[in-house]
Amino acid sequence: MTGRRRWSTEEILDAAAELLRTGHADSFSVRKLATVLGTDSSSLYRHFRSKTELLRAVADRVLLAAMEGHRAEGDWKQRLTDLALRVRDAFDAQPQLAAVWSRYASSGAGSRMVMEEVLQALRASGLPDAEIPTRYHRVAVLIAALIAAEAGSGAVTQEEHEQGMELFRVAVLGADPGRFPALARFARDVRPLGEDRRAAFDDILAAQLADIEASVGARRLGGGRGR
């Protein structure tokens, strides 16, 4: 009798990524993955101790792909902007995995490479070492949140998008001026959340970097020391 095929770790991750791309993270399970591979759950648990560990590994592969061939170039702001765009583009092709990344933070090689580049860029900004961990956390949370939000919008079907737009127009343009005066005033210019997310991503990231730059400049003017 022929035994079941032994799947490699990389093959399991390939299958998991494909299953996540065609479904939702909430409905993903090791049992479903085992069924796809024609094996049993116990064989997969030899590679990954839990569903969470498996999902973290899937997300980390996206980060590894984003960092492939990456070279730190330009000043610290250019480095952080380039990194954010690389990670965004990597998840843009796999929007379902962006939600996985935001929920199950990776701690693998890809994650460490991203963390290292962010920390190195922040050190190059002139921030005192004591402030870098807090600034790192803010930048990391911002990038992850923006990418997850953009990916969520990208995963919406055309029909769902059109329905959402119609509901938005009814809710906004039909707002009662007596109850919602500000909304009525700006109704024709307010955009739904799903519109123009890429420009919003760029602007919000630039604002965060400008805040860091202003902090460094103020410290230099004040003669502050922290390194």
Model confidence over 137-156: pLDDT tens digits? 999 989 888 888 777 665 66
Residue 4: what pLDDT? 63
25 versus 77: the higher-pLDDT residue is 77
Instruction: Please give the structure tokens belonging to residue 80.
Output: 């952080």
Contacts of 3 (CB under 8 A, 6+ apart): none
Which of 95-99, 193-197, 206-210 holds the top average pLDDT?
Answer: 206-210
> Model's pTM, two decimal places?
0.79
Flag whether pLDDT at 207 surpasses 80: yes
Q: Is the pLDDT of residue 208 over 50?
A: yes
Contact partners, residue 39, CB within 8 Å, separation at least 6: 4, 5, 7
Mean pLDDT of 36-45: 90
pLDDT at 83 exceeding the cut of 60? yes
Q: Which of 68-77, 140-149, 175-184 has the lowest mean pLDDT?
A: 140-149
Fold topology of 9-155+196-221: Tetracycline Repressor; domain 2 (1.10.357)
User: What does the pLDDT average to over 15-41?
Assistant: 86
Q: What is the DSSP letter of 156?
A: S
Residues 225 and 146: their CA atoms lie apart, in Å, by 33
* Tens of pLDDT, residues 110-119: 999 999 999 9
**Contacts for 140 with CB less than 8 Å, ≥ 6 apart:** 115, 118
Q: What is the pLDDT of residue 101?
A: 81
pLDDT score of 116: 95
Q: Give the pLDDT band (50/70/90) at residue 127.
A: very high
- Hey, what are 173's tokens? 């343009």
Mean pLDDT of all residues in 58-76:
91
